[in-house]
Amino acid sequence: MKRLIFKKEALSLVELLVAVAVLSLGMLLIQQAFFISLSAFGYYSRHLGVLAWINEKLWAVQSALAYQGLNSLEPAGLFEIRGKKIFWNLSIQLTDQLKDNLLYEVILNLNWKEGRRKINLQRSTYILVKNENEPLQ
What does the pLDDT read at residue 137? 41
Instruction: Give the per-residue pLDDT at 43.
Output: 74
Give tens-digit pLDDT for 54-90: 999 999 999 888 888 778 888 899 988 878 888 999 9
- What local confidence, expressed as pLDDT, does residue 21 receive? 94
Q: What is the mean pLDDT of the chain?
A: 84
| pLDDT tens by residue, 107-129 | 999 998 877 888 899 999 999 88
pLDDT of residue 1: 54
99 vs 23 pLDDT, higher one: 23
Higher pLDDT, 137 or 74: 74
Q: For residue 85, what are the contacts with CB-CB under 8 A and spacing of at least 6?
A: 78, 79, 112
Higher per-residue confidence, 83 vs 29? 29
Q: What is the model's pTM? A: 0.65
Which domains does the chain carry?
A: 50-130 (3.30.1300)
Diameter over CA atoms, the chain: 114
CA 134 to chain CA centroid, Å, is 35
Residues 85 and 14: their CA atoms lie apart, in Å, by 53
Q: Report the pLDDT value the prediction gives residue 114, as an integer from 0 to 100.
A: 79
